[in-house]
Amino acid sequence: MRLRFISYLSLGVAAAFLVVATYAFSLSTIAALSLGLGIAMLAVSLGVAARYRKDLVTRAVSGGIAVVSGWMIVSSQVFAQSTVDNMTFALALAVGALAAIGLTAHELDTERVVHKLEVHEGQDEGSEKRERIAA
């Protein structure tokens, strides 16, 4: 598996965990989770953006996740805990949506490569047959 796939999958799982945590845990626990997972999501998204810096879609999605998780870190330290609860829920949904977009882009990129290989493989066989017939 590729690093990009694993990274987006883990970001999506972390975001889903935060969404559930906003309804399951106390406000102080949510603030601590928001800070900790926000830092982890920021690090992962910046790592993916640096590793795949030539891919525009990956850079845009990872940059979006970095901005959202950066705001999650700041909001967990600045706002009141009831506000952090609501913001964590919304920001986790945003990270989850961006992670799903990243996973989709990764799969479409992989599908394009497989399709390209299949098309070229089929064309090569036809040209070999034509060469045999011509000879």
**Distances from the Cα of 126 to the Cαs of 113, 118, 129, 131, in angstroms?**
20, 13, 5, 9
Query: Phi, psi (5° rounding) for residue 79?
Result: -90, 170
The confidence score (pLDDT) of residue 116 equals 61
Could you state, in order of their start, the residue ranges of all structural domains in the chain? 3-102
d(CA 92, CA 65): 10
Q: What is the mean pLDDT of each run of 10 residues along the chain (135 residues)?
A: 85 95 93 95 94 88 95 95 94 95 81 59 55 56
The confidence score (pLDDT) of residue 9 equals 93
The confidence score (pLDDT) of residue 57 equals 87
The confidence score (pLDDT) of residue 107 equals 79
